[in-house]
Amino acid sequence: MLKCVYASALVACLALPGIAFSEDLDSLTPEQLLPLAQKEGSVTVFSLSSRIARIEAAFEAAYPGIDLIGVDMSSTKQIARVEAEQQAGVHAVDVLYIADTPVVFTKLVEAKRVVNYVPPRVADELEDRYKAPLLTQRLSTKVLMYNEKAFPDGSPVTNLWQLTEPEWQGRVLMVDPSQRGELLDLLTEIALHPDEMAAAYKAQYGKDIEVEDGLEGAGEQFIKALFENDLILLPNSDVLNKSIGDVNAKNPPVGFGTYSDRRDNEKEGWALQVANNVEPANGILFPAVLTIADKAPHPAAARLLIDFMFGDDTPTGGPGFEPFNVPGDYAVRKAIADHPDSVKLGELKAWTIDPAKTAAARGRIADLIITLQ
């Protein structure tokens, strides 16, 4: 009987071109998608995380006959690559595992370069905000990090404005926001909270902030002051993590990085820790989304992969989600528990970005940064 269902699904899907084909696939279970995906034979994913290598091994073990080709690629590069390829009529990638959603929404969603897909198996477990306009798989971070071995009593910074003081001159790190959109989103979010940044300034210095002409609010004033205090821009997160977290460092810098990178502390000889007790916030939470590229060459396998990456029904999410079930990553599926070593999501002092608001404001902040570099 099950074989008949598979055969019927295959005949139906192959008979429906274009949009109807996609809509029909959207309703299928993993069991129904499997024979179609095996016929396709492979699936290619661009991934913001190097952890896609672990997903590749687990997916191929779970679904023999389907070759998962995982390409580790930053969100900024993914957006540029998809735009360039599709403009040239090339449709080679199936799935994007991507962040920098303000740009994704404007450059990929609005241009219809991607297709949203929500696996029916997990749809009822997800809040509506995580299902559209694109599917959120987890929440990630760009937050203030410090070296817990060098500072065993806790974060040496408890107010963002301290980062603009002489003590931290040349000792605050960030991956270049022109290369990683999530860092531009971080700075934009700071600018979008002028009242909170003004209150934090008054708490630190006991007086109201004076905002210079040409700047809009205390958040932009902070960005200017941070750059003028010799903010160090780095090429990638590996350099940042080693610089901040080296267990042998005596007076290490602090910086804005990814909370979940502390999963590699033992392996890399780091002592990374999140600075959570920071006013008015320690950074941002942002969605890591899964979406299907327009005219994906392997549409059934693409859907099967996205379903797989939401994990099974165990508290850790099983092989499909366990690579992301680490301190500092937060599942959006209600069946998956936060890692026990994580700061609880409700207690993490990070702003959650609103992609639409960030998209509207980030151009101005990008221009401001150019004048400061």
Q: Are residues 135 and 145 in the same domain?
A: no
Q: Which residue has the higher pLDDT, 24 or 70?
A: 70
Q: Are residues 167 and 149 in the same domain?
A: yes
Q: Are residues 73 and 163 in the same domain?
A: no
**Residue 225: strand, helix, or coil:** helix
Residue 159: which of 115, 97, 188, 201 has the closest Cα? 201
- For residues 78-82, average pLDDT: 97
Structure tokens of 185? 């989103």
Burial string for 135-167 (b: 16+ CB within 10 Å, else e) reads bbbbbbbbbbbbbbbbbeeebbbebbbbbbeee
Burial string for 6-15 (b: 16+ CB within 10 Å, else e) reads beebeeebee
Q: Are residues 276 and 298 in the same domain?
A: no
Rounded Cα–Cα distance for residues 365 and 256 (Å) = 17
Q: Are residues 6 and 66 in the same domain?
A: yes
What pLDDT does 263 receive?
Answer: 92
State the total domains in the chain: 2
Rounded Cα–Cα distance for residues 213 and 45 (Å) = 46
Q: Are residues 104 and 163 in the same domain?
A: no
- pLDDT at position 22 over 90: no
CATH of the domain at 334: 3.40.190.10
- pLDDT at position 276 over 90: yes
Q: How confident is the model at residue 373 (pLDDT cuts 50, 70, 90)?
A: confident
What is the DSSP code string of 124-171? GGS-GGGTSSSEEEEEEEEEEEEETTT-TTS-S-SBGGGGGSGGGTT-
Decide: 202 and 208 in contact? Cβ < 8 Å. Answer: yes
**306 CB-contact burial (10 Å; exposed 0-12 / middle 13-18 / buried 19+):** buried
SS3 content of the chain, % helix, strand, coil (to 5): 45, 15, 35
Q: Are residues 132 and 192 in the same domain?
A: no
Q: Are residues 291 and 281 in the same domain?
A: no
Residue 231: which of 74, 367, 76, 369 has the closest Cα? 369
Rounded Cα–Cα distance for residues 215 and 185 (Å) = 18
Digit-coded pLDDT (tens) for 160-200:
999 999 999 999 999 999 888 899 999 999 999 999 999 99
Decide: 273 and 156 in contact? Cβ < 8 Å. Answer: no
Q: Are residues 365 and 252 in the same domain?
A: yes
Rounded Cα–Cα distance for residues 37 and 14 (Å) = 12
Q: State how far Cα 234 lies from the chain centre.
A: 19
**Residue 350: strand, helix, or coil:** coil
Q: Are residues 53 and 78 in the same domain?
A: yes
Q: Are residues 197 and 321 in the same domain?
A: no
- pLDDT at position 6 over 50: no
Q: How confident is the model at residue 201 (pLDDT cuts 50, 70, 90)?
A: very high
- Domain coverage including residue 218: 140-285+349-372
Q: Which residue has the higher pLDDT, 4 or 268?
A: 268
Residue 113: which of 76, 86, 75, 143 has the closest Cα? 86
Digit-coded pLDDT (tens) for 324-350:
999 999 999 999 998 999 999 999 999
Q: Are residues 237 and 365 in the same domain?
A: yes
Structure tokens of 24? 């029909």
